[in-house]
Amino acid sequence: MSTLLLNLDFGEPPPKKALEGNAKHRNFVKKRRLLEQRGFLSKKNQPPSKVPKLHSEPPKKGETPRVDGTWKTPSFPKKKTAASSNGSGQTLDKKTAVSWVTPAPSKKADSVTAKVDLLGEFQSALPKISSHPTQSQKKDLQKKSSKKNHPQKNAPQNSTQSHSENKCSRAFQKLPQKMVAIDCEMVGTGPKGHVSSLARCSIVNYDGDVLYDEYILPPCQIVDYRTRWSGIRKQHMVNATPFKIARGQILKMLTGKIVVGHAIHNDFKALQYFHPKSLTRDTSHIPPLNRKADCPENATVSLKLLTKKLLNRDIQAGKSGHSSVEDAQATMELYKLVEVEWEEHLVQNPPKD
């Protein structure tokens, strides 16, 4: 028998060509070969419309697991064209099979050009997912939002002048409600009537309305009524309020308020009371008021003269004596003439108690 020599070609694959392209492409080809070796990309077992995921991820809402370990993903949008290897466009639909997912073997499958086109098709068909912000981006967003919500938090402080103007404006709004004017009439008690004791007290508000007006009986015997100046007579003391009771009523009205008066230290002395200097306005020691009346700034001008020059009104006229209500109203009107200027001065130069 003659010897038969068989030359069988088992179809050994040609030697693999060296991978070409950029790093991203080479990484994609390596992963694809690995999946092909494990059988995940087999032509017979893999349905054409199912796309296996390259990385194991937890299931998302609406996805269901499959037997081969992959997850069912939602279909791609309708009517999107992806460039094929030969340059022609194909329309993608939910029901139509996507041929590029499991490409059939062809003569040009091993060529570099086919692999590059396959990668482009795969990336172009994937749905666009908005990337989540990183930690640094989150911090930047928080800083921007905090600046919008608090625009003045990091703003520089205002100047001293603007701060004082705001303070003055707030003070002016509260003045009418917290300001009163007072005037007292005294009689003589003690040895030879040289001690001045309270016999009448009148308090008016910012608008001149009478808040309090009472005759007051001194604790000591009256020696001199001083009727020519005080207007007090003996009959006024018959039903007068005792000093202790009247003093408590008056101090309740003065506490916490700005008190205006002319030579007001005499009134406080008769009341046996000390009022804070920051809440006291004495029209006998206000330089702007003297300037308006063409008088020396440091001079102590009488209430009668200031009222005549600035208000063109006569008070304390005749021999019947003074009216504490009339004097208190005139004092408040005089103060209102220089209120804004004097309050600004006091804000910048607050008096010390």
Kindly report, residue by residue over 225-282, the tens digit of the pLDDT: 999 999 999 999 999 999 999 999 999 999 999 999 999 999 999 999 999 999 999 9
Per-residue pLDDT at 195: 94
Other CB atoms closer than 10 Å to residue 218's CB: what's the count? 21
Q: What is the pTM of this model?
A: 0.53
pLDDT band at 111 (very low <50, low <70, confident <90, very high): very low
pLDDT at 28 over 80: yes
pLDDT band at 184 (very low <50, low <70, confident <90, very high): very high
C-alpha to C-alpha distance for 181 and 325, rounded to whole angstroms: 10
- C-alpha to C-alpha distances, 45 to 41, 53, 54, 138, 264, nearest whole angstrom: 8, 16, 17, 45, 109
Q: Hey, CA dihedral for 110, 111, 114, 115, is it positive or negative?
A: positive
Highest mean pLDDT among 78-82, 86-90, 228-232: 228-232
Least confident stretch, 110-124, 174-188, 317-331? 110-124
Residue 187's DSSP bridge partners are: 197
DSSP states of 148-182: HH-TTSSSPPPPHHHHHHHHHHHHHHHHHHHEEEE
DSSP states of 236-267: GGSSPEEHHHHHHHHHHHHTTSEEEESSHHHH
- C-alpha to C-alpha distances, 236 to 113, 196, 199, 214, 217, nearest whole angstrom: 122, 17, 9, 10, 9
DSSP states of 194-234: -EEEEEEEEEE-TT--EEEEEEEE-SS-EEE--HHHH---G
Six-digit token string for 332: 């408040």
C-alpha to C-alpha distance for 328 and 331, rounded to whole angstroms: 5
